[in-house]
């Protein structure tokens, strides 16, 4: 006779997504005050060279949640989830794999792309993934209004509302405070269940607008905030349709109060950095509330905690405030994982890792069957045992702009960016940055080192470049 099934003692997962979070935290040696994330880094594994696959929210999240690079034009865009929901046959997403394995799966806030996981046409962004998915409630009921929320329930109006706000309100005066409360309540409910859980919680800040309660602005001495170490455009990169340099777009002129057609003043620069810092400190405090509840419920000892930034952000670097570039600043983001029983907690992992690695990693750590065809490699050994293990030689990221596609490949030393014409596959521009000599990517040296370009290009020859026209 078969043994009766014992209690399901598999580890839970608390997966925290933070929108537009670059590694500017205290634990990364930078200036942002982030005590809760610093604590998580001390207790778990902090990755210093984690790169996303796309420098925009929807595409990055889609790639991470499905564990794959692009195979369709839509995968490069914020419409990736809409495209996915329309397909008759779909890949199995990470939360769906956990759900099929008997986990209770829950999404709160911006985990896929929409702040409630629902496409504009009312369909689920990730069909089959979640037992329940929810977005903001109360005065923030309309999820996209909440996503762009100002104090008092106001939302963004293009060209009308400001880029920053520092209202004298408590944490729930902005939507992320509510997301934290919802996550705390959900944890309390999940703690009583027999099945293990996969709870994903998505915070909105520090995505624009840079709105946070005043007390988080007051953590910083405004005049002491340093501007970017490389506020100029990089040399050797032409400002044309191919490359991604710009100073208009997501921030200016959509939001008011900062920026002109000519760029940013020094005051703008400092104010935007101050706002970003305040927003991150605000989110750090909300994450701290959720982690404290996890502790209080006795769940910390059997729950893996992941904090993931969906991509980086230029804080004035290269004359840019925003993402949507193929530079290190857009592609490098926060990743930390705390798992029970980890060896050498607090030892950081400096090897190259990618967002697509998270799916096979969590599947392995939780003994959940992963589907065939995932593009990532498991980081389980790096997390549980040895942070010095190297699992990959390069990380490839993708972008597209107009009629061009780009691959941006990071190796241990270099970043190689190739721009292709979509219709023909012909290379139209190449950028090479040497991170040993030039960590801020201030000079494109592709013309000076053609043999390095050639050698790295051979390594990236297998990179799929999408020349299809399917999808949006
Ligand atoms: Ca984002």
pLDDT of 459 strictly over 90: no
**b (16+ CB within 10 A) / e for 255-267:** bbebbeeebbeee
10 Å Cβ neighbour count for 49? Answer: 19
pLDDT at position 258: 93
* Interval between CA 165 and ligand 1 midpoint (Å): 19
pTM for the structure as a whole: 0.96
Residue-wise pLDDT for 167-189, tens only, equals 999 999 999 999 999 999 999 99
pLDDT of 205 strictly over 60: yes
Catalytic residue among 57, 311, 314, 366: 57
* Interval between CA 371 and ligand 1 midpoint (Å): 26
Could you identify the residue written with the tokens 């270099």? 414
Helix residue ranges, H only, 67-213:
80-86, 94-100, 143-147, 175-191
Half-sphere exposure of 324 (CA within 13 A, CB side): 16
pLDDT at position 471: 39
pLDDT at position 470: 43
Query: What DSSP element (H or E) covers 61?
Result: helix 57-66
Residue-wise pLDDT for 136-165, tens only, equals 988 888 889 999 999 999 999 999 999 999
pLDDT at position 423: 86
pLDDT of 461 strictly over 70: no
Per-residue pLDDT band at 227 (split at 50, 70, 90): very high
Residue-wise pLDDT for 356-396, tens only, equals 999 999 999 999 999 999 999 999 999 999 999 999 999 99
pLDDT at position 468: 53
pLDDT at position 76: 93
Catalytic residue among 113, 274, 311, 314: 113
- Mark whether 366 is an active-site residue: no
Phi, psi dihedrals of residue 181, rounded to the nearest 5°: -65, -45
Cα angle vertex 306, ends 342, 93, to 5°? 120
CB 414 within 8 A of CB 452: yes
* Interval between CA 20 and ligand 1 midpoint (Å): 4
pLDDT of 466 strictly over 80: no
**b (16+ CB within 10 A) / e for 420-457:** bebeeeeebbbbbbbbeeeebbbbbbbeeeeebbeebb
Please give the structure tokens belonging to residue 144. Answer: 């996209």
pLDDT of 225 strictly over 90: yes
* Interval between CA 1 and ligand 1 midpoint (Å): 52
Return all residues near 455 (Cβ < 8 A) that are at least 6 apart.
none
* Interval between CA 182 and ligand 1 midpoint (Å): 21
**Residue 427: beta bridge partners?**
420
Per-residue pLDDT band at 239 (split at 50, 70, 90): low
* Interval between CA 283 and ligand 1 midpoint (Å): 14
Q: How far apart are CA 158 and CA 255, in angstroms?
A: 6
* Interval between CA 419 and ligand 1 midpoint (Å): 23
Per-residue pLDDT band at 465 (split at 50, 70, 90): low
CB 144 within 8 A of CB 120: no
pLDDT of 420 strictly over 90: no
To the nearest 10°, report the CA torsion of 279, 281, 284, 288.
-130
pLDDT of 243 strictly over 90: no
| CA distances for 432 relative to 108, 441, 446, angstroms | 40, 9, 5
* Interval between CA 323 and ligand 1 midpoint (Å): 8
pLDDT of 2 strictly over 60: no
* Interval between CA 376 and ligand 1 midpoint (Å): 21
pLDDT of 409 strictly over 50: yes
Strand locations in 390-459 (E): 394-401, 404-411, 414-421, 427-434
Please give the structure tokens belonging to residue 405. Answer: 């596609």
To the nearest 10°, report the CA torsion of 207, 187, 40, 226.
20
* Interval between CA 194 and ligand 1 midpoint (Å): 34
Strand locations in 286-384 (E): 303-309, 314-315, 321-322, 335-338, 353-354
Phi, psi dihedrals of residue 189, rounded to the nearest 5°: -70, -40
Q: How far apart are CA 398 and CA 312, in angstroms?
A: 14
């Amino acid at each position: 006779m078969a043994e009766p099934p014992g209690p399901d003692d598999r580890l839970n997962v608390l997966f925290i997504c933070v929108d537009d979070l670059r590694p500017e935290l205290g634990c990364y040696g930078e200036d942002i005050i982030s005590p809760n994330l610093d604590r998580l880094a001390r207790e778990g594994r902090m990755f210093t060279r984690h790169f996303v696959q796309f420098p925009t929210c929807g595409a990055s999240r889609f790639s991470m949640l499905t564990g794959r690079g692009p195979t369709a034009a839509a995968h490069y865009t914020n419409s990736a989830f809409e495209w996915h929901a329309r397909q008759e046959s779909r890949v199995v997403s990470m939360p769906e794999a956990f759900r099929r394995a008997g986990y209770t799966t829950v999404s709160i806030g911006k985990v896929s792309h929409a702040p409630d996981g629902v496409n504009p046409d009312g369909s689920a962004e990730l069909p089959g993934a979640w037992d329940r998915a929810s977005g903001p409630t109360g005065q923030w009921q309309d999820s996209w209004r909440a996503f762009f929320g100002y104090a008092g329930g106001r939302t963004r109006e293009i060209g009308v509302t400001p880029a920053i706000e520092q209202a004298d309100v408590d944490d729930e005066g902005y939507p992320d405070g509510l997301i934290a409360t919802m996550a705390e309540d959900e944890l309390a409910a999940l703690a009583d269940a027999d099945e293990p859980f996969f709870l994903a919680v998505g915070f909105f800040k520090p995505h624009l607008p840079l709105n946070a309660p005043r007390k988080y602005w007051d953590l910083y001495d405004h005049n002491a905030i340093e501007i970017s170490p490389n506020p100029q455009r990089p040399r050797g990169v032409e400002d044309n349709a191919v490359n991604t340099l710009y100073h208009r777009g997501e921030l200016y002129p959509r939001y008011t109060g900062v920026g002109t057609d000519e760029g940013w003043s020094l005051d703008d620069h400092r104010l935007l950095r101050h706002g970003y810092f305040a927003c991150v400190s605000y989110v750090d405090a909300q994450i701290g509330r959720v982690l404290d509840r996890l502790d209080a419920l006795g769940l910390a000892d059997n729950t893996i905690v992941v904090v993931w930034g969906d991509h980086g952000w230029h804080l004035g670097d290269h004359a840019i405030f925003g993402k949507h570039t193929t530079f290190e600043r857009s592609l490098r983001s926060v990743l930390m994982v705390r798992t029970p029983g980890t060896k050498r907690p607090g030892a950081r992992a400096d090897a190259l890792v990618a967002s697509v690695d998270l799916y096979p990693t969590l599947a392995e750590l939780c003994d959940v069957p992963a589907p065939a065809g995932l593009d990532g490699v498991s980081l389980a050994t790096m997390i549980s045992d040895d942070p010095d293990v190297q699992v990959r030689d390069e990380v490839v990221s993708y972008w597209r702009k107009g009629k061009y596609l780009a691959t941006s490949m990071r190796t241990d030393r270099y970043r190689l960016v190739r721009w292709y014409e979509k219709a023909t596959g012909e290379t139209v521009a190449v950028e090479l940055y040497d991170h040993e000599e030039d960590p801020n990517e201030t000079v494109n040296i592709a013309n000076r080192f053609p043999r390095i370009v050639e050698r790295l290009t051979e390594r990236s020859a297998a990179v799929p470049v999408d020349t299809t026209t399917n999808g949006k």
